[in-house]
Structure 1
Amino acid sequence: MSLPSRRPAPDTGPAAAPHSPRRRIPSRGARRAAALSLAAVTLLGAASPPDAPRALGIGDRLFPTLGNPGYDVTSYRVDLDYSGHNDRPLNAVTEITARATTGLGHLNLDFARGQVHSVEIDGRPARHQQDGEDLVITPAERIAPGQKLRIVVRHTSDPRGRSDAGWIRTADGLAMANQADAAHRVFPCNDHPSDKAFFTFRITAPQGVTAVANGEPAGQADRGPRRVWTYRTAHPMATELAQVSLGRSTVLRSQGPHGLPVRSVVPTAHRAALARWAAKTPGHLAWMERHVGRFPFETYGVLLADARTGYELETQTLSLFEKDLFTTGRIPDWYIESVMVHELAHQWFGDSVSPHRWSDVWLNEAHATWYEALYAQDKAGGQANLDTRMQRAYQQSDGWRADGGAPAAPKAASPGKKISIFRPSIYDGGALALYALRQRIGAAAFDRLERTWVTRHRDGVAGTADFVRLASEIAGQDLTGFFRSWLYEAKTPPMPGHPEWQSKKP
């Protein structure tokens, strides 16, 4: 995620202030790592959920009710029927395949903002009730440990209501913004990034509406005045990264490095103004590959939506951007491109390698900010010098920690503002920790760490402790104390190589 208030404005005067309001089968090792991580999630949340039907969670410190213990999702199939009106509920069917990790008398899904018509488990009707934002399902028979499950929920998906977000209504349709706590406002799911799964979307919409979703196209079929669009991911995905775009859109196609299919989605009414920005994506991909290695997914592109969200978002294989970022005429090209690179970098850091807990989100945002800053320096030189940006961040770091917590210990979200966990301490504050790490271990070791991180944990889930272990391994020294001070303490430690840098008192 990239928020205007979290990014430094380009140094070009008041008129340039930023606008305002991220097919290969996973290796056996990646699947095993994900399974082990999910087993740990189950044990931490509740190894043996009580029989009384009630809302549950896996114990995430920042979002304690998210996720559900007792099972591991393998895949989702989400069928959506769109009327062409973005102020009406969509009829939907969500089919989930999963494996029970413990015995269950009840099975919980995260779900809100829709009506549930029926639930089946393995073809048999199951009772269901709502408890807060949990859909509590009672199967006809108790679920046994290791049992494979097929859960079918027939429901509506409602784009109306206050944001925060889930569905976002665009000028000509709908798109999704599910980070960090909102995928379950669109479809029933195990809504935590530690439980990744494969996705298939089947979308029925009127002729003239273009439907695009994560992954690659898997077929189209016309049914009189309506068309059915199918998309399928080739890699597992966290629920918060799901994306479906519905509108009068044009899909622009090109090719990235190694023949990678690049498809970008723009409102047809604004194609002339936006096509040149979508055309920059192959170059951005090549730049990122030079720094961290091959792109981790089957396709990529940008979704430039005619909507006001207040942020950009790294939805997997199709990053979401506000159209106005590209059309104000007041923002330098290098700055806009650096924001595009921020969301692209997330495809490696945050999407392919997902956080174990939301407290690990600094791993997503610090890395995306780091490559955003490097790209800006490459494109703008003295206007966006990395050392200067990091020194300014150092000056503000103690204040950021006081306001929002240390990078790996962010404070909980403000009431009613779930995305408020995304504070400066995990963006430039986290990038500052990466800068300190490179100062400590050297540029060559840092580059090896970055490439090894995204290959070792590809398609998996990893946390701060994993990053500390890998950094120590590659540097050949125990970096536990170094990371403790940079990631968890209230005061910013001295910057290696820059003893003269000072942080302002909060």
Structure 2
Amino acid sequence: MDPRRPRALTAVAVLLAAALTGCTGERDGRDDGDRAARGAAGLRDPYFPALGNGGYDVRHYALTLAYEPGTGRLTGTADITARATQDLGAFNLDLTGLTVHGATVDGEPAGVRRAGGELTLRPAEDIADGATFRTVVRYSGTPATITDAEGAREGWLRTADGAVALGEPTGSTAWFPGNHHPSDKATYTLAVTVPQGLRAVSNGEPAPERTSGGRTTYTWRSTEPMASYLATLAIGRYETRTSRTPEGLPVHTAARGEPALLGEIPELLAWEVEKFGPYPFSSTGAIVEPLLDVSYALETQSRPFFDKGTFTAATLVHELAHQWYGNSVSPKSWRDMWLNESFATYAEWLYAEDYEGTPVQDNFDEAFAEAENWAFPPAAPPAAVDLSDPPVYFRGAMVLHKVREAVGDETFFAVLRGWPAKYRHANASTEDFVRYVEEQAGEDLTDLWDVWLYGQDRPTAPSS
């Protein structure tokens, strides 16, 4: 996410969106006493306890969508392949503000119940622990734009000729049902049909488009695991381009016009590969939408999104760095958000040193002097509303710089490459990072963590 204008993330967004929820009612009257246990209706995340669901692990989402920009109506079918992690008599999906018309589990009709942002499905037969099962949900409606307590918008954002779907942290619940917590990553196939003349751009790799009867279907496939908040869909009259880096990596871009900065993606990506190690996805690119003004950019996987005013070189460096830190290595919980933003912010500091002649130490000193960066420890934000406040970004980057000073450049840059290699396409926590750094350094860094990562107060001097 763009660190210059960080947006707040708040559980209020979930509560506001829940009020918009469509409901089909309970369709299964069997006695719960005859069924296996239900999967948990939330993963008890420290900041979003109701987000995500227990009892299963999603392997793949196949989303078939049709969108009509004139009315704002979305019609969808979500075909979800998952593996049970316990015996399941029922399980939940997260979904906000859309009407469910029916569901099946392994081809048989399932009971459907809505309660706020929770969709409970009761399969005809219990699902055994370890079994792979397939859920199909049919739904439609006008997807919600979710507005948090500070006015930041996510979810489904309409434009003059289309829409953009942005998911951090809860917005993906507005356009497809799923297990919407970053700890449950999956692969994706998205097929969306729109009026001819519009384009639909998403994550991953495109399949050949098909046009019939005045409508065009675009299909995108993401074969590397992705957290649902990183899924995106942009519909509009875009100019799309596909090129390749000198190493052969596809670069898919969508924009209105042809911003010159798009041409710099291969060079900036090569610079980041040198710093952070092999690029973790099958393509890169960008979506630039000047018709939206949401005051942030977002690291949507393999296809970072930029709104009006955020498509700058520094922000592009930041969002590309997230492909390693946050996208490939995803947080185990939202408390680990600082791991995403600290690395992406430090990437900006490295870019400023290499491209603009500004030493990293100068950016560290400037961040140290800013009182707002000391409002709380980066690894322990007080509440969900604080997850994208300055300490998560800039004090987080200061933590990395103190690690660099403590362990030396050789070990530090080995950490920059080794951390995303060790947890490639997986999830990691703050505790995992602390352990990893100390293993690489061969020393106990408790004093550093106590002051810079968890300390409540600003040290008396930057060298403390």
TM norm structure 2:
0.89
> How far off is 1:426 after superposition?
0.7
Match of 1:28 in 2: none
Separation in structure 1 between the aligned mates of residue 443 and residue 39 of structure 2, nearest angstrom: 47
For 1:42-81, what aligned pairs fall within 5 Å after superposition? 56-81=41-66
Separation in structure 2 between the aligned mates of residue 257 and residue 133 of structure 1, nearest angstrom: 46
Match of 1:44 in 2: none
> How far off is 1:400 after superposition?
3.4
Q: Deviations over 1:149-192 (max 9, x none)?
A: 10000001523555441111233211121001121111001001
Match of 1:186 in 2: 175
Look up the equivalent residue of 1:206 and give its one-letter code.
P
Distance 1:198 1:161, change over 3 A: closer
**Which of 275, 285, 301 is equivalent to 2:269?**
285
Q: Deviations over 1:374-430 (max 9, x none)?
A: 11232222xx44212211212235x4343xx3111112124xxxxx52010110110
Match of 2:441 in 1: 475
Match of 1:64, SS state, is coil
Structure 1 position 230 matched with structure 2 position 208: no
Distance 1:51 1:344, change over 3 A: same
Separation in structure 2 between the aligned mates of residue 300 and residue 249 of structure 1, nearest angstrom: 17
Match of 1:445 in 2: 411
Match of 2:155 in 1: 166
Match of 2:428 in 1: 462
Separation in structure 1 between the aligned mates of residue 447 and residue 158 of structure 2, nearest angstrom: 46
Separation in structure 2 between the aligned mates of residue 217 and residue 341 of structure 1, nearest angstrom: 24
Distance 1:147 1:289, change over 3 A: same
Separation in structure 1 between the aligned mates of residue 353 and residue 249 of structure 2, nearest angstrom: 26
* Worse-matched range after superposition: 306-315 or 385-394: 385-394
Distance 1:303 1:372, change over 3 A: same
2:55–2:88 contact (8 Å) kept in structure 1? yes
TM norm structure 1:
0.81
Match of 1:318, SS state, is coil
**Which of 347, 352, 356 is equivalent to 2:328?**
352
**Which of 393, 398, 409 is equivalent to 2:380?**
409
Structure 1 position 396 matched with structure 2 position 396: no
For 1:102-117, what aligned pairs fall within 5 Å after superposition? 102-117=86-101
2:87–2:128 contact (8 Å) kept in structure 1? yes
> How far off is 1:493 after superposition?
4.4
Structure 1 position 312 matched with structure 2 position 273: no
1:219–1:231 contact (8 Å) kept in structure 2? no
* Worse-matched range after superposition: 480-489 or 253-262: 480-489
Q: Deviations over 1:186-231 (max 9, x none)?
A: 1001001110000000111111111111100123222221111111
**Which of 127, 132, 141 is equivalent to 1:143?**
127
Distance 1:481 1:138, change over 3 A: farther
> How far off is 1:478 after superposition?
1.9
Look up the equivalent residue of 1:443 and give its one-letter code.
D
Match of 2:208, SS state, is strand
> How far off is 1:257 after superposition?
4.2
**Larger helix proportion of the pair:** 1
Distance 1:372 1:146, change over 3 A: same
Separation in structure 2 between the aligned mates of residue 439 and residue 76 of structure 1, nearest angstrom: 43
Match of 1:154 in 2: 138
Separation in structure 1 between the aligned mates of residue 295 and residue 63 of structure 2, nearest angstrom: 27
Give the length in aligned residue pairs. 431
1:338–1:373 contact (8 Å) kept in structure 2? no
Match of 1:2 in 2: 2
Separation in structure 2 between the aligned mates of residue 55 and residue 98 of structure 1, nearest angstrom: 15
Separation in structure 1 between the aligned mates of residue 132 and residue 117 of structure 2, nearest angstrom: 25
**Aligned CA-pair RMSD:** 2.0
2:96–2:144 contact (8 Å) kept in structure 1? no
Match of 1:330 in 2: none
Separation in structure 2 between the aligned mates of residue 134 and residue 55 of structure 1, nearest angstrom: 11
Separation in structure 2 between the aligned mates of residue 465 and residue 231 of structure 1, nearest angstrom: 35
Q: Deviations over 1:89-110 (max 9, x none)?
A: 2100001000110112220001
Look up the equivalent residue of 2:366 and give its one-letter code.
R
2:254–2:288 contact (8 Å) kept in structure 1? yes
Separation in structure 2 between the aligned mates of residue 104 and residue 480 of structure 1, nearest angstrom: 43
For 1:477-492, what aligned pairs fall within 5 Å after superposition? 477-492=443-458
> How far off is 1:482 after superposition?
2.5
Look up the equivalent residue of 1:394 and give its one-letter code.
F
Match of 2:278 in 1: 294
**Which of 337, 350, 353 is equivalent to 2:313?**
337
Separation in structure 1 between the aligned mates of residue 73 and residue 446 of structure 2, nearest angstrom: 50
1:104–1:143 contact (8 Å) kept in structure 2? yes
Look up the equivalent residue of 1:102 and give its one-letter code.
Q
* Worse-matched range after superposition: 300-309 or 53-62: 53-62
> Identity of counterpart residues, as a percentage?
40
2:286–2:305 contact (8 Å) kept in structure 1? yes
